Amino acid sequence: MRYKKIDIEYWTYPEGDDFKDISEFAKGVDQDYLLTLSKKRTDACGGGLYDLIIKVTEDISLLDLAKSYAEDGVKVAIGYSLKKMV
């Protein structure tokens, strides 16, 4: 199985209050992924400092990458040959 990871970084309110329903969101993420939530407390006192960074990574092997390119190449070749027939 491939290694899949989701990193989410965001700012919270100065009092440290978190977003509404963030725990339900975390529970709803597919369990095949490793989820990391990083919240940072802002000191902007509600001055409009909003930042949400979502990074999704997945390890794939060179063989998987080559297989994907080969499959795409075959699809293009079939599509090109069918276009010539029509």
pLDDT, one tens digit per residue, over 40-67 is 777 666 555 667 788 888 888 888 889 9
pLDDT, one tens digit per residue, over 13-38 is 777 677 778 778 788 877 777 888 88
Q: Which residues pair with 55 in a beta bridge?
A: 7
The residue type found at 32 is D
Query: What are the contacts of 82-86 at 24+ separation with CB within 8 A?
Result: none
Domain positions in the chain are: 5-72
Residue count of the chain: 86
Q: Of 6, 8, 18, 22, whose CA–CA distance to 51 is shortest?
A: 8
Alpha-helical (H) ranges within the chain are 22-28, 62-85
